[in-house]
Amino acid sequence: MTRNRGWRIAGGVVGGVLGAAATGAAVGVATRWSRLAKERRVPAELDTDDGPLAPADIGLLPAGTPWSVTADDGVRLSAEVIEPPEGQRAELTVVFVHGFALDRRCWHFQRRLLGELPDGRARLVFYDHRSHGRSERASRASCTIAQLGADLDAVLRTLAPDGRLVLVGHSMGGMSIMALAERHPELFAERVAGVALLCTSAGEVASSGLPGTFLSRRNVLTRMVGGLAGWQPRLVERARAMVSDLIWGVTRAYAYGDRTVDSWLVDFVHTMISLNAVDALVDFVDTLNTHDRVAALPALMETETLILGGDADRIIPMRHSEVIAAELPGATLVRLPGVGHMAMLELPEAVNEALTELLAKAARPTGILRRFRRRA
């Protein structure tokens, strides 16, 4: 009886706090909220001859074969593989590693381009991180960058056990590649022919901007929301749905550099984020805050490496890409003016061109042969 009364009191306090916060926020942002709701529902322009695909085409992608990869701790990771055209031998396996709060669909334009090249000779592998997308929910203790590096290793052992590799990582996906390099530097000396690090960081992610606030250990709101989400997930998800338009506005502001980006592109990212449980996302806060793998970068020294960032990225600013480039003087650094964090969606033509050049370099045997001779 006493315990039930305690739960009711706690629930009342939480409800009161949320209610007061919601009321106060509503007074200050009502006009903005209404404007966001209208902007969100403006039909997207379908004439995209000079731009990305129309919303109606979002599902038109090369078909992949579904796979289930078992991580070393038993967590199931959802994946897909696209094989090269019939009769052609794959020279490379390209593995795409998505970022925090997203899923493998974020590689939409890259999957479309590389999966439909008539002379494409690469196998494409896409997968969802643990607790993201269609992958299995994992324990909080296992939601670390180090474990994501181990998960990538499991994906490679299962879906690409031999042959040359190109690893493409965005944001937390790039950090996962660094964690793999920290774990298995010999893999990069022997098999990894190319690496693309998009809008990512080797450390000090929480030094400024939105991450500086969200990832801080002193952020009471983040900790409170995380605790509440673990205790009352339905309550938090209902609250999240109620402020969906506001979250959509934040997504537009922080995912893209162009504030006039088509609403359907914002919807695309917003949908991916919304399908991930709040408490699952909060599980990764500490690992993002403590990520530091500058020391792992030398493993990429002799690998064809592309480092790409947007100079309007408000989540992981361009200077993080410059830090990585300073550690890898032989890498190609690409700066995209006016582009935000979701570069592969905001400016897919430029990203695809850079990736295509990377694949062409990685397909040349000279670099691999040179390393083998040196090792011999």
| Backbone phi, psi, residue 216, to 5° | -65, 140
Predicted TM-score (pTM) of the model is 0.80
Q: How far apart are CA 355 and CA 96, in angstroms?
A: 11
Angle at 24 between CA 20 and CA 26, to 5 degrees: 115
What pLDDT is attached to residue 85? 77
What pLDDT is attached to residue 121? 73
How many CB atoms are located within 10 Å of the residue 291 CB? 22
What pLDDT is attached to residue 5? 44
pLDDT in tens, 155-200: 999 999 999 999 999 999 999 999 999 999 999 999 999 999 999 9
Q: Which residues of the chain have pLDDT under 70?
A: 1-60, 87, 117-120, 208-245, 365-376
Architecture label for domain 55-204+291-375: 3-Layer(aba) Sandwich (3.40)
- What lies within 8 Å, CB to CB, of 130 at 6+ separation is 71, 75, 77, 136, 137, 138, 142, 143, 147, 148, 151
CA 278 vs. chain centroid, Å, equals 16
The answer to whether the CB of 92 falls within 8 A of the CB of 156 is no
Report the candidate in 142, 104, 37 with the shortest Cα–Cα distance to residue 276. 104
The answer to whether the CB of 143 falls within 8 A of the CB of 283 is yes
Can you give the residue ranges of every domain in the chain?
Answer: 55-204+291-375
Report the candidate in 202, 181, 205 with the shortest Cα–Cα distance to residue 294. 202
Q: Are strands 65-70 and 76-82 parallel, antiparallel or unpaired?
A: antiparallel
